[in-house]
């Protein structure tokens, strides 16, 4: 994936990009309909600590933002909706 033009990206586009990344990296072959914007990623066991680090690196590179340590906690990254909100607030 190439970096996005962060000035024009919508929250819905962010959700789709995050969902696509999670499906490709952590859930290959899974039914995309099973992963919704409210599916618990960390508390549901989809993302472990290493996967969360990879996701944070993807977010920082893709959206050209820097997440603070407290922003990598479960309350910011547990669902696609949470992640999109965090990213959108930093653009």
pLDDT in the model for residue 8: 80
Residues ≥6 apart with Cβ < 8 Å to 84: 11, 14, 15, 18, 37
CA distances from 2 to 6, 42, 47 (A): 12, 26, 23
pTM of the model: 0.89
Report whether pLDDT(7) > 90.
no
CB contact at 8 A, 30 and 23:
yes
- Coil/strand/helix, residue 7: coil
The lowest-confidence range among 4-13, 20-29, 42-51 is 4-13
Domains of the chain: 11-90 (1.10.1200.10)
H or E stretch at 24: helix 11-26
Q: Does residue 4 carry a pLDDT above 90?
A: no
pLDDT tens profile 30-80 = 999 999 999 999 999 999 999 999 999 999 999 999 999 999 999 999 999
């Amino acid at each position: 994936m190439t970096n996005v033009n962060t000035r024009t990206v919508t929250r819905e586009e962010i959700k789709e990009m995050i969902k696509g990344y999670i499906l490709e990296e952590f859930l290959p072959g899974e039914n995309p309909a099973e992963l919704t914007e409210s599916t618990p990623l960390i508390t549901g066991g989809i993302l472990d600590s290493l996967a969360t680090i990879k996701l944070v690196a993807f977010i920082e590179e893709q959206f050209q933002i820097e997440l603070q340590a407290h922003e990598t906690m479960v309350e910011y990254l547990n669902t696609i909706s949470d992640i999109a909100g965090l990213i959108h607030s930093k653009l």
